[in-house]
Amino acid sequence: MINIFNKYSRHTYSYWTLRKAVGWIGLLLPFVLMLGGFLIFKGKFVESSISYYYHTGMRDVFVGALCAVALFLFFYSGYNKWDDWAGNLGGLFALGVAWFPTIKSGPDDWAGIVHLVCAILFFLTLASFSLFLFTKTEKGKRPRGRKKKRNLIYIICGIIMLACLIVIVVYKILLKNNSHDSSFVFWGETIALVAFGASWLTKGEAIFPDKK
């Protein structure tokens, strides 16, 4: 019985570690791309969007980080099949963002359109994790103590991600702004990714962990 419990505990802690790893990737990715592109490759201090780093020397970091997030989401499992489906869809959209690059200049081509659609759906999926999946509790129980505090963080992070997505869509589509001179989209995406990272770090119990 002790060996079985120890094995279960190791798997549980490994799962928490993976969640925290995904959280750190989301949290740090914009700043790593920004500083790497500027300091190592002597590019602009801030590009027009995070996706535009595909066209810089930081392309491998951008694609590699998204593929790492996608791989974990494919293997993510939660309370029920909806969690599994959300993970699979999130992984698929992350690969779409990585493998179908945004345009370097001019109007969107078909790859750029696929990229934009996948990016929007990716952020929607991440927001749904925070708002609807991470906030779940065992059937018949109500969240208490630190779980209640973590749920508040999930909800705040989910709302931030949705708000950033709406603002970016308004800026890019309704205002038809395709300028590569403005960093507005970059900072909107950065705030959304920081919220995503904070949500997953909380889910990995890096923030308000249950008392052991």
Note down the domain range covering 174. Answer: 14-203
Structural domain count, the chain: 1
The answer to whether residue 160 is domain-embedded is yes
Q: What is the pLDDT along the chain (212 residues), one digit of tens a residue?
A: 444 434 444 445 567 788 899 999 999 999 999 999 999 999 999 999 999 999 999 999 999 999 999 999 998 876 678 888 999 999 999 999 999 998 887 777 899 999 999 999 999 999 999 999 999 876 656 777 788 899 999 999 999 999 999 999 998 877 665 556 789 999 999 999 999 999 999 998 888 887 76
Angle, CA of 56, 59 and 62, to the nearest 5°? 125
- Rounded to the nearest 5°, which phi and psi values hold at 19? -60, -45
Distance CA 133, CA 130 (A): 6
The answer to whether residue 100 is domain-embedded is yes
The answer to whether residue 5 is domain-embedded is no
The answer to whether residue 6 is domain-embedded is no
The answer to whether residue 60 is domain-embedded is yes
The answer to whether residue 83 is domain-embedded is yes
- Helix, strand, coil percentages (3-state) for the chain, rounded to 5, are 75, 0, 25
Distance CA 76, CA 69 (A): 10
Nearest C-alpha neighbor of 117 from the set 146, 94, 135: 94
- What is the pTM (predicted TM-score) of this model? 0.89
The answer to whether residue 1 is domain-embedded is no
Angle, CA of 145, 147 and 209, to the nearest 5°? 95
